[in-house]
Structure 1
Amino acid sequence: MFAKHHSLDPVEIAQVDKRHVLHPWSDLKTMHTEDPLVLAEAKGIHISDAEGNRYIDGIGGMWCVQVGYGREELIVTMAEQARRLCYYTPFGAMANVPAAQLAQALAERAPGDLNTVSFATSGSGAVDSAIRFAHFYFNCLDQPSKRQVIVRMDSYHGSTYLTASMNGKRRDWSQFNYARELVHFLPSVNAFRRPKGQSLEDFANEKVADLEAMILELGPENVACFVAEPIQASGGVIVPPEMYLPRCLEICRKYDVLYISDEVVTAFGRLGHIFASKDVFGITPDIITCAKGLTSGYIPMGATIYSDRLIKAISGENAVDHPYFTNGFTYSGHPVAAAVALKNLEILEGDGILEQVRDTGPYFQAELQKLRDLPIVGDVRGMGLMACVECVVRKIGAEPGEADMAVAARVDAHAQERGLILRPFESLCILSPPLIVTTKDIDRIVSILRDSLIATQNDLIAEGIWSPLARG
């Protein structure tokens, strides 16, 4: 007999979770001993745990709860569509109304001639589909050697076998196997870590040259695609140097390499636009991948959007023998998810949320920059409503040590005590609040973060782990 969820107390839920749930990125040393934070309710930008403690959700769930929690329009849309048509197979010549309408809506908002959409259930699935399409495309054009994939260090592209192989975060490389024969990593474009004395212009030129050099080293006849997040999100909110992305696109065009813009995080308002590739960074890629904010996290969905140029080259009279694109998922274009996504787009655009982000984003960034006066803060970077405060415990310029690897978790623990949830990764304190956040909310976020950074400094000094004088 199963107990109803509300009949179990937080301690019991935590025990059940530790016994039965294998979470993403679990530490297997502590998974049976470390108590999880048991969440129970959420509204607006706040979440509450099962004990009634309330927190500002500083990471928007996982970069995705754009319009905030508890939006009745999305909840009602979900229920109404489930009553009307909860599911039907997407395979073959089977269409459902909201999925077709959503594909049209995405095509209308995507840049250039990106007009054909395939659906997935996640960002990982969307990126995986994009890579499979790139291979399929060149095979159809009788160029089967064009299969190598170029990505960058500090990238994150997903958690399927293929997309996990494309992740450039070294701390994520674990005891799994990876498709290393297909994937090649360029050096990071994190300007904070450039050599001392190197200008930003020289750094940008070097990073662009890295891409061309990699293509030439592998041979253009062997390279299928270059995959890049406009801003590298979970790798540390790394904003590329100005004109870096347009110049990379030019190089891809020069060598017939497909440019895939991974907008799983940056799309749907995070930077104040539905898509950031063209509107923010001035590029029209061959393929865009998206997910997360597509449904504001209310239901899983991802999408891959393809250029007409690519589709035309391999379809209709140009199709090869056995022309079937055998890629997709049971829940591709799920009607309930598609209906929610359509309503989410309506809210983002109709409620002025995109314009609000374009107003609050600069304020958010400016207030966070004020944290640079703290000795523990090495860098503050970001754009729109995504940001990273990078802590430095080691001497600047030295290799990261164990203290750096754990410092953000310390900051997050202090922040939770004060009512704010961050996303800690190594020395990175990452923020991506719901897009409905106000300037008053931002003031509270920055105030809590400042207090938490100071508390962490004091802990490290008291424990003899660090002295601000060692930064250099």
Structure 2
Amino acid sequence: MTGLDAKFAAGQPAPQDLWEMDRRHALHPWTNFGSFEKDGALVIARGEGCYLWDAEGRRYLDAVGGLWCTNLGLGRKDMAQAIADQAERLAFSNTFVDVTNEPSARLAAKLASLAPGDLNRVHFTTGGSTAVDTAARLVWYYQSCRGQRQKTDLVAREHSYHGSTYLSQSVGKRPGDRVEEFRYMEAGIHHLSVPNPYRRPEGMSEEAFCDFLVAEFEDLIARVGADRIGGFFAEPIQASGGVIVPPKGYLRRMWEICRRHDILFIADEVVTAFGRLGHWFASEDVFEVIPDVITCAKGLTSGYQPLGAMIFSDRIWEVMAEGGERWFTSGLTYAGHPVACAAGLKTIEIIENEGLLANAAEVGDYFLERLQGLEALPLVGQVRGQRLMVCVENVGNKDSKEPLPDGANESKRISDAAEAMGLMVRPIGHLNVMSPPLVITKPQVDFVAETLEKAIRKVTDELVREGYRIG
């Protein structure tokens, strides 16, 4: 037994020991092997509200919100008690075929009551990736049940992120996610242009850009054939792809095209649901769209338990269930897990009782307004988003919108500088992304804006001294 193993067995690992155990044994999601083997990982020890503490006792305001998910904030005793009570009462019961449990049944009914239109059917999963994966297969299953077995092609957008299973990552297409060592499904999946107004062609109005995007979808349908396209996947706001808010009217028009051509519209609300934009779901309340399917996760349990859901329409159910002879042979051991569903029910109860949708709307508007003040800085090209979902895009030239060379690594350097000042933001390429808990306050927003400005100024000065041209 090594010295580290002995300390672990004795229950006495020091912060440095934990760091070393992780560095020696863990493969993290999206690991970069060079930096990980050199620097290891930041060991987080506890959380309360919007704050995290690392194993050394340093405190950070978590403006990332975990990964878009800690909507209620951390350390809530009422959430912990609900989870503990359910674990004691019934820690597990499978939901395969004809078995259910009370929290699963209650949460399915609650989600149906909150979802728009006739989205009254719920299939539970373990997270967002598996919800999207199941939604893709639902498209094939539904179209086959209708006698449209060839209507299997899927459409999504560039810069989209829909998960990390083989199928969900194939549907998504975010820069940097696709590496040559992995394989992806290519046949039957089409990707349209990213609806990013900031990067629209020079001289084109936002209205004309929207027309271009809509025409592109129509052209794809004409080329491939409406009889072959079964479903269209869209995040209402493309989250990890850069918090891309589409042009006004875009999603509604894309939805109308889907209805006209008998294509299922799948709204990937893994990030936007459960309050991030001040609503239970963004599709109808923000973008005037009633999808055929909604995928969700993250804020559903505020990160206290892993849980996802695919919510779909009665119309789809009725087609699949017609005749009563078919089997839907897809599911997961932990689908409808009673403890996870109890966490989902408690999350929704707290959001309702504490008025967190209204707080997300009020403080979220203030959050975006305060951060948009950063656009005055030479390194910042645009601050965009809605409410508690914001991105700072860094550029080398504000007029041309040309980014700095990748080697500048400015977004990671900004996040590192902010972290040293007690603030966590997420670097993605040339972006810094934020999605704080719904319980964030205006004074905490002020801290985020002021600290991030200091970090950006610090990194800008360093880059200029290194010879980079910024302006």
- TM bucket (normalised to shorter chain) is over 0.9
Question: Counterpart in 1 of 2:235?
Answer: 229
C-alpha separation in 1, matches of 2:10 and 2:334: 27
- Does the Cα contact within 8 Å between 2:121 and 2:311 map onto a contact in 1? yes
Question: Counterpart in 2 of 1:162?
Answer: 167
Question: Counterpart in 2 of 1:448?
Answer: 451
1:53-72 equivalences under 5 Å are 53-72=58-77
1:258 aligns with 2:257: no
Q: 1:188 aligns with which of 181, 189, 194?
A: 194
Question: Counterpart in 2 of 1:117?
Answer: 122
The AA in structure 2 aligned to 1:227 is F
1:346-365 equivalences under 5 Å are 346-365=349-368
5+ residue gaps, structure 1, are: none
1:37 aligns with 2:42: yes
- Any idea what SS the aligned residue of 2:155 has? strand
C-alpha separation in 1, matches of 2:132 and 2:9: 37
Question: Counterpart in 2 of 1:467?
Answer: 469
Deviation at 1:312, TM superposition (A): 1.0
Deviation at 1:299, TM superposition (A): 0.6
Deviation at 1:395, TM superposition (A): 6.8
Distance 1:430 1:187, change over 3 A: same
Q: 1:143 aligns with which of 148, 164, 174?
A: 148
Question: Counterpart in 1 of 2:215?
Answer: 209
Distance 1:376 1:404, change over 3 A: farther
Deviation at 1:114, TM superposition (A): 0.2
Q: Deviations over 1:405-433 (max 9, x none)?
A: 72110110100011001110111000000
Q: CA RMSD in A?
A: 1.4
- Does the Cα contact within 8 Å between 2:51 and 2:60 map onto a contact in 1? yes
Deviation at 1:4, TM superposition (A): 5.9
1:79 aligns with 2:84: yes
C-alpha separation in 1, matches of 2:78 and 2:270: 23
Q: 1:342 aligns with which of 345, 351, 370?
A: 345
Q: Deviations over 1:46-70 (max 9, x none)?
A: 0000001000001100000000001
The AA in structure 1 aligned to 2:425 is L
Task: Report how many aligned residue pairs link the two structures.
Answer: 465
C-alpha separation in 1, matches of 2:87 and 2:13: 29
Q: Deviations over 1:414-467 (max 9, x none)?
A: 000110011101110000001100000000000000001101100100111x22
- Does the Cα contact within 8 Å between 1:391 and 1:404 map onto a contact in 2? no
Question: Counterpart in 2 of 1:313?
Answer: 319
C-alpha separation in 2, matches of 1:374 and 1:4: 51
Distance 1:374 1:404, change over 3 A: farther
Q: Deviations over 1:340-374 (max 9, x none)?
A: 10000000111011111111111111111111110
Q: Deviations over 1:55-89 (max 9, x none)?
A: 00011000000000011111000000011000011
- Does the Cα contact within 8 Å between 1:405 and 1:427 map onto a contact in 2? no
C-alpha separation in 1, matches of 2:10 and 2:371: 39
Question: Counterpart in 2 of 1:326?
Answer: 329
Question: Counterpart in 2 of 1:25?
Answer: 30
5+ residue gaps, structure 2, are: none
C-alpha separation in 2, matches of 1:364 and 1:225: 35
Distance 1:405 1:66, change over 3 A: farther
- Does the Cα contact within 8 Å between 1:393 and 1:403 map onto a contact in 2? no
Deviation at 1:401, TM superposition (A): 5.1
Q: Deviations over 1:12-48 (max 9, x none)?
A: 1111111111000001233322221111011010000
The AA in structure 2 aligned to 1:228 is A
Q: Give me the identity figure in percent.
A: 45
Deviation at 1:196, TM superposition (A): 1.8
Distance 1:339 1:426, change over 3 A: same
- Does the Cα contact within 8 Å between 1:14 and 1:36 map onto a contact in 2? yes
1:368 aligns with 2:368: no
Distance 1:395 1:357, change over 3 A: closer
C-alpha separation in 1, matches of 2:463 and 2:367: 28
Distance 1:422 1:360, change over 3 A: same
Question: Counterpart in 1 of 2:51?
Answer: 46
- Any idea what SS the aligned residue of 1:31 has? helix
- Any idea what SS the aligned residue of 1:30 has? helix
The AA in structure 1 aligned to 2:351 is L
- Does the Cα contact within 8 Å between 2:245 and 2:384 map onto a contact in 1? yes
Deviation at 1:267, TM superposition (A): 0.3
Distance 1:5 1:45, change over 3 A: farther
Q: Deviations over 1:107-158 (max 9, x none)?
A: 0000000000000001000011111111001111121111111000110000
Deviation at 1:399, TM superposition (A): 5.8
Q: 2:439 aligns with which of 415, 436, 441?
A: 436
C-alpha separation in 2, matches of 1:380 and 1:38: 30
- Does the Cα contact within 8 Å between 2:395 and 2:401 map onto a contact in 1? no
- Does the Cα contact within 8 Å between 2:83 and 2:339 map onto a contact in 1? yes
C-alpha separation in 1, matches of 2:84 and 2:17: 31
Normalization by structure 2: what TM-score? 0.96
C-alpha separation in 2, matches of 1:159 and 1:405: 28
Q: Deviations over 1:231-253 (max 9, x none)?
A: 00011100011111110000001
Question: Counterpart in 2 of 1:407?
Answer: 410
The AA in structure 2 aligned to 1:271 is L
Q: 1:220 aligns with which of 215, 220, 226?
A: 226
Question: Counterpart in 1 of 2:293?
Answer: 287
- Does the Cα contact within 8 Å between 2:395 and 2:402 map onto a contact in 1? no
